[in-house]
Amino acid sequence: FTADRQTKSLSSVLPFYQGVHGERGGSKNCYGANGACVYVKVPLGTLVKEDGEVVADLTQHGEEYVAAYGGAGGKGNRFFLSNENRAPTLFTPGEPGQDRVLYLELKTTAHAGLVGFPNAGKSSLLRAISRARPAVAAYPFTTLNPHVGIVHYQDYEQVAVADIPGLIKGAHQNRGLGMAFLRHIERCHFLLYVVDLSVSQPWTQLQDLKYELEQYKKGLSERPCVVIGNKIDLAESRINLPLLKEQVQDQVIALSALRGDNLEELFLHLRELYDAYVKTEQSQRRSPVKW
């Protein structure tokens, strides 16, 4: 398996692969050619499991994992030549290659993750800040799979933002599609909490979201973040905005994904989070994920 940044899903992976056979040896002590390697491209963030155990975690572009080794070649009659046997006819056949059953699981890799309850406006926001086109509709759970959009900056830096499908209360107990959604947040280096400013007491959404993340994996809710108050174009939202800022300690950005209001402030803070992530990775002598 080869991690490839151009591959975005596991849909192209076939259920069965077979290696290429090697060739027989020839006359005049010629070796047979080895079987050609079969490479399977998988997206960044792919976990390879065998019998429920993780055997590989492919997170860097170009990273490889040998899923199965080919069998050893056989020995030709030249190997059995001796003073007692000047014209041997013995030989040994090549051995079969490895046969393995592996399970692939994708945890979306992105710099930032949009986290929020259904209908908070995450998909609309991703459409507003990138060229990604997730489905948008006026009912919950429009998004059933993560979508990754790329935010471009003038210095050619690119920040990947993942639209994580909406969580619900009890997601850490696998209610709804909780585990299927939560696992993608693990790969995000910083979070963008999207709350609906038009509902009563919007700060409770943030509290519930952080609780679900922390119950799923300790420390997940403590990652660098920004709180996005969406739907500021509504009258109820303008009333709730100062109340939200009083209740939370994190940076709050009020915007309208539908109308595109105040997206510049989001771009600014998103870049600050990205630069801080890159600086941290470099200080620890690790390579930051690039898109």
Domain that residue 129 falls in: 108-285
Q: Alpha-carbon distance 121 to 253, whole Å?
A: 14
Total number of domains in the chain? 2
> 77 lies in a domain?
yes
**Looking at residue 66, what is its pLDDT?**
95
Q: Alpha-carbon distance 239 to 136, whole Å?
A: 26
289's CB contacts (< 8 A; 6+ apart) are 44, 59, 60, 109, 111, 160, 189
**Looking at residue 172, what is its pLDDT?**
45
Q: What is the mean pLDDT of residues 245-254?
A: 92
Greater confidence (84 vs 174) lies with 84
Q: Which of the listed residues 74, 107, 140 is the one where a domain comes to its end?
A: 107
Quote the tokens at residue 66: 């040998």
Q: Alpha-carbon distance 34 to 36, whole Å?
A: 6
> 7 lies in a domain?
yes
Digit-coded pLDDT (tens) for 3-55: 998 887 787 899 999 988 888 888 888 888 888 899 999 988 888 999 989 99
Same domain for 245 and 174, yes or no, is yes
Q: Which of the listed residues 72, 107, 142 is the one where a domain comes to its end?
A: 107
Q: Alpha-carbon distance 162 to 272, whole Å?
A: 17
Greater confidence (180 vs 156) lies with 156
Q: Alpha-carbon distance 112 to 193, whole Å?
A: 10
Q: Alpha-carbon distance 195 to 117, whole Å?
A: 7
Q: What is the mean pLDDT of residues 92-101?
A: 89
CATH number of the domain at 40, please. Answer: 2.70.210.12
Angle between helices 122-129 and 263-283 (to 10 degrees): 80
**Looking at residue 191, what is its pLDDT?**
94
DSSP letter, residue 227: E
Same domain for 133 and 52, yes or no, is no
Q: Which of the listed residues 107, 124, 150 is the one where a domain comes to its end?
A: 107
Q: Which percentage of the chain shows pLDDT scores above 90? A: 40
Q: Alpha-carbon distance 236 to 228, whole Å?
A: 16
Other residues' Cβ atoms within 10 Å of the Cβ of residue 208: 17
**Looking at residue 141, what is its pLDDT?**
45
Would you mind telling me the total number of residues written for the chain in this entry? 291
Q: What is the mean pLDDT of residues 158-181?
A: 64
DSSP letter, residue 138: S
- Phi and psi angles of residue 15, each rounded to the nearest 5 degrees, phi first: -75, -15
Q: What is the mean pLDDT of residues 74-87?
A: 85
Q: Which amino acid is at 20?
A: V
**Looking at residue 142, what is its pLDDT?**
46
Q: Alpha-carbon distance 230 to 11, whole Å?
A: 33
Same domain for 209 and 82, yes or no, is no
Same domain for 116 and 102, yes or no, is no
Digit-coded pLDDT (tens) for 127-164: 999 887 665 544 444 444 667 888 999 998 999 898 87
183's CB contacts (< 8 A; 6+ apart) are 105, 107
> 290 lies in a domain?
no
Q: Which amino acid is at 197?
A: L
**Looking at residue 152, what is its pLDDT?**
92
**Looking at residue 232, what is its pLDDT?**
93
